[in-house]
Chains A and B, each alone.
Chain A
Amino acid sequence: MNLKQPIKTINVYYFLTDEFLKCDEVTFRKIGNLYLELYGQNAYKYMVKTYPLWKVRAVGISGQTFRRILECVPKFLSDEKRFYILKAEVLYFVEKKHFNLNNSNKNKTGTLSEVNQYFQSYESIIDKFNNHNLAWFYGNGIFSENELWEFLQVCKYSIQKRLSLSYEQVTNDLDLLRSNLNKYQIREFKGDYSIDFLSKKMDVSDVNKILVEPLNFTSFELTLNGRLKKFAEKYIIDELLKLDFTTKEGSANGLIKSNDIDLLFNQYNDLRKGKQDVAIKSTFQGEGGVLTISLDFVPNQKLTTQIVNKSAILFLLISAFGLFTYFSFKYKLGWAGFPLLIMFFFLLSTTKTSIDQILSNLKQLKKNGK
């Protein structure tokens, strides 16, 4: 799972400086009036005097002046440009949040019973986004509270749509796996599933034992009526197009994955009829994530042979030890004490491993239906 660190599509500060340096006379006068009102006569005079030099980059803008300009310029931009910087900043904030959420514990494999928790906790974090997360825009009055709130609602709406789509896709993938396991009567396997949207990995080996209760996401109606309505609507359309694409692509992945899982299980059942040990590891891109399945099979004949071999070796070792001990005592062979001790410990460890192997083979035989 490779998460990409979000990158700012635009640097709002440079964008605003650029807008200031190339603004027309009317806009410059408006900016100047606000500048005068906010920072006084001296600051205003300095700004007007130095403006031509800033424009040709003969003089750099000092930190304080730069901050002052940044506070005045956005208020005189066209609605389209204001929305452009707002969108860039909000989306960067949202993507950063998404990255931080997904980057924490990304290498940890969770359990299937936690799947609802992953989605619920993500939803609750989205719900907490508010104007205070965009302190610069809000605190400096660059956007009104309503404008910020409205666009955050638009973003929340879009993320929630993506989240609920991802949940639906994940549950479809799990259902598909469940039905195929039942169809091909595969009782044991090892598997994990990585959710694309949340970059979370979970163990799905017990998919047939754990039932995931369907999760209902909070739905909210989106009503837009502010000054930036037109642009927010365009953004929503773009998001809906992306969602539509993700849905269709997911369905396509689901169809192909279903085909491939069918092929894998069918092949596995055929190979089980042979005399070889079989180990299959496969990866499938599903609707909402990547599924990895590992299947192993050891033929019954081999398992039985191993049990016979281990039992015989064990019997032989115990007999040899018994005989050696008997003769050592009978013929009073003092030198035999040390080899006897070594033999005893060797026998002890061999007995343990042999019994473990025999038990594991018996378990495997039971699993194979014998």
Chain B
Amino acid sequence: MENEIAKYENNKIIDVIKKIPDLTDQEKTSLIQKVLSDDVAIRNSVLTRLADSQIAINDLVAVQGEITALNKQGMYIKAKQTIKTGSGNVEIEMKGGDAKLIIPVLVILGIIIIAVLAILFMR
């Protein structure tokens, strides 16, 4: 990660500033200071947001652990969670659980009742 962050500190623009003939030394120094201060601001922002992403990972792992536990108990789950990440946010919504076969059972019972009634009527 240090290598990734290091690339925001390249000296390309500083070299350009140093080579401009019409600038006074004071102007050059002031511009270079601005570049360096921007670099520091970006570096800080990257570190803060990477930390946010890391917290998001921990949050998601915790949520998943709870869901796995509830699944094992065969419970119905309905959950919604918004997690802030380094670059935005993730909103997760879950619902469901053990799929029950109540309706097919009821339907089959219904068919049996209709069939019995039909037989009775036909007689």
Task: Write the residues of chain A forming the contact surface with B, with a CB cutoff of 8 angstroms.
Answer: 230, 233, 237, 240-241, 244-245, 248-249, 251-253, 255-257, 259-260, 263-264, 267, 270-271, 274-286, 290, 299, 301-302, 305, 308-309, 312-313, 315-316, 319-320, 323, 327
Q: Do A313 and B71 touch across chains, with their CB atoms under 8 A apart?
A: no
Task: Count B-side interface residues using an 8 Å CB cutoff.
Answer: 56
CA of A280 to CA of B64 in the docked complex: distance in angstroms? 14
CB distance from A343 to the nearest CB of B (A): 13
Number of A-B contacts (CB under 8 A): 149
Q: Do B97 and A267 touch across chains, with their CB atoms under 8 A apart?
A: no
Which chain B residue lies CB-closest to A301? B99
CB distance from A82 to the nearest CB of B (A): 18
Q: Do A275 and B99 touch across chains, with their CB atoms under 8 A apart?
A: yes
Q: Do B89 and A283 touch across chains, with their CB atoms under 8 A apart?
A: yes
Which chain A residue lies CB-closest to B7? A251
Which chain B residue lies CB-closest to A278? B94
Contacts of B90 in A (CB 8 A): 260, 263-264, 267, 280-282
Contacts of B71 in A (CB 8 A): 274-276
9 further A-B pairs in the complex, CB-CB below 8 A; given A249-B42, A249-B45, A279-B92: A244-B12, A260-B85, A267-B90, A267-B92, A271-B64, A302-B96, A305-B100, A313-B103, A319-B111
* Selected A-B contacts with CB under 8 Å, 16 pairs: A241-B34, A244-B12, A255-B4, A260-B85, A260-B88, A264-B90, A276-B67, A276-B95, A277-B94, A277-B96, A284-B87, A284-B88, A305-B100, A309-B104, A315-B107, A316-B114
Q: Do B16 and A256 touch across chains, with their CB atoms under 8 A apart?
A: no
A251-B8, A281-B91 are contacts. A244–B99 as well, Cβ < 8 Å? Answer: no
A256-B86, A286-B87 are contacts. A248–B39 as well, Cβ < 8 Å? Answer: yes
Question: CB within 8 A of B87: which of A251, A257, A301?
Answer: A257
Q: Do B98 and A263 touch across chains, with their CB atoms under 8 A apart?
A: no
Contacts of A320 in B (CB 8 A): 114
Q: Do B107 and A309 touch across chains, with their CB atoms under 8 A apart?
A: yes
Task: Write the residues of chain B forming the contact surface with A, with a CB cutoff of 8 angstroms.
Answer: 4, 7-8, 12-13, 16-17, 20, 22-23, 31, 34-35, 38-39, 42, 45-46, 49-50, 53, 56-57, 60, 64, 67-68, 71, 77, 85-101, 103-104, 107-108, 110-111, 114, 117-118, 121
CB distance from A350 to the nearest CB of B (A): 13
Contacts of A279 in B (CB 8 A): 92-94
Q: Do A312 and B104 touch across chains, with their CB atoms under 8 A apart?
A: yes
CA of A275 to CA of B68 in the docked complex: distance in angstroms? 10
CA of A74 to CA of B55 in the docked complex: distance in angstroms? 58
Please indicate which of the listed interface residues B17, B23, B99, B114 has the most CB atoms of chain A within 10 Å of its own CB. B99
CA of A31 to CA of B86 in the docked complex: distance in angstroms? 59
Which chain A residue lies CB-closest to B48? A256
Q: Do A252 and B46 touch across chains, with their CB atoms under 8 A apart?
A: yes
Q: Do B13 and A275 touch across chains, with their CB atoms under 8 A apart?
A: no
Q: Do B13 and A240 touch across chains, with their CB atoms under 8 A apart?
A: yes
CB distance from A162 to the nearest CB of B (A): 15
Q: Do A271 and B91 touch across chains, with their CB atoms under 8 A apart?
A: no
Q: Do B22 and A230 touch across chains, with their CB atoms under 8 A apart?
A: yes
Contacts of A274 in B (CB 8 A): 67-68, 71, 94
Please indicate which of the listed interface residues B71, B88, B117 has the most CB atoms of chain A within 10 Å of its own CB. B88
CB distance from B42 to the nearest CB of A (A): 5
CA of A313 to CA of B67 in the docked complex: distance in angstroms? 32
Q: Do B103 and A312 touch across chains, with their CB atoms under 8 A apart?
A: yes
